[in-house]
Structure 1
Amino acid sequence: MTLIYIGLGGFLGAISRYLVSKYINSFLSLGNMPYGTLFVNILGAFVLSFLMSLSIYKLEFPKSFMLFFATGFIGSFTTFSTFMYETIVLSEESFTLYSLLYLSLSIILGLLFAFLGYSLGRMGS
């Protein structure tokens, strides 16, 4: 059952990443920044940190839920490999400034939102 939970979550997470990225990119087309990937990775960092913190300090989630949502859904909703690839492509296409900005924003905002999610998850403990 473990693989079923992870697989179903991964299936839905990958589809959600595609749809959310496409939606975000349809609104934000300033420069060559991959805003959709930036958004899903920051959102994923927040949600996963919030969920993990909540599960440590406040609630005990069933293992099946954590496998489905944390490992499967969030694991495939966020995408480190696409982030790395897009950073390289921006750099190779002479968009070095965008490449550095994308790299910096991804790391800084990702950590900031992960910390925010973690802090909100443990509030009151």
Structure 2
Amino acid sequence: MNWLLVIIGAMVGAPLRYLTDRAVQLRHDTVFPWGTLVVNVTGSLVLGLLAGATSAGHASPQLQLLIGTGLCGALTTYSTFSYETLRLIETGAGFYAAANVVASVTAGLGAAFAGVSFAEAVWPR
């Protein structure tokens, strides 16, 4: 039944990713992929929170499958990040491509770290 938890999480994460990306991108008149950055950083934060809760014994393996693998796996998108960065380079927007790489990696790792730190503060071991 673990596969069912992953499917259910992905059924929520995939449309949430698409709708969030579109909503964010419509608000910004730029070639910078703000929508993808938002979903990736949000997913990193959620996954960090979940990892911290799990390590403190406050989240089950089933919740890890539902939220971590299913929802976050479908919400976040490394392939789209890579493709959009490549397209920025191909269209001569090298500054935006570099900014996308730096912002995505820095903010994603920072969000994951913040999520783990917050969870550990709320649920100490």
Q: In which range does the TM-score fall when normalised by the shorter chain? A: over 0.9
Structure 1 residue 64: Cα displacement: 2.3
> Mapping of 1:1-125 within 5 angstroms?
1-29=1-29, 31-59=30-58, 61-123=59-121, 125=124
Note if contact 2:53-2:120 (Cα within 8 Å) is conserved in structure 1: yes
| Secondary structure of 1:33 counterpart | coil
Matched letter for residue 119 of structure 1: S
Structure 1 residue 63: Cα displacement: 2.6
Q: Which runs of 5+ in 2 are unaligned?
A: none
Q: Distance in 2 between matches of 1:44 and 1:122?
A: 18
Q: Distance in 2 between matches of 1:76 and 1:47?
A: 13
Note if contact 2:32-2:100 (Cα within 8 Å) is conserved in structure 1: yes
TM-score, normalising length: structure 1: 0.93
Note if contact 1:58-1:122 (Cα within 8 Å) is conserved in structure 2: no
1:5-43 Cα shifts (integer Å, max 9, x gaps):
1111112100100011111111122x2001000000001
1:92-118 Cα shifts (integer Å, max 9, x gaps):
010001000011100111111111111
| Secondary structure of 2:31 counterpart | coil
Note if contact 2:54-2:60 (Cα within 8 Å) is conserved in structure 1: no
Structure 1 residue 85: Cα displacement: 0.7
Structure 1 residue 58: Cα displacement: 4.8
- Percent identity between matched residues is 32
Q: Which runs of 5+ in 1 are unaligned?
A: none
Q: Number of aligned pairs? A: 123
Matched letter for residue 114 of structure 2: L
| Secondary structure of 2:121 counterpart | coil
Across the aligned residues of Structure 1 and Structure 2, the Cα RMSD in angstroms comes to 1.2
Q: Distance in 1 between matches of 2:8 and 2:49?
A: 21
Structure 1 residue 54: Cα displacement: 1.3
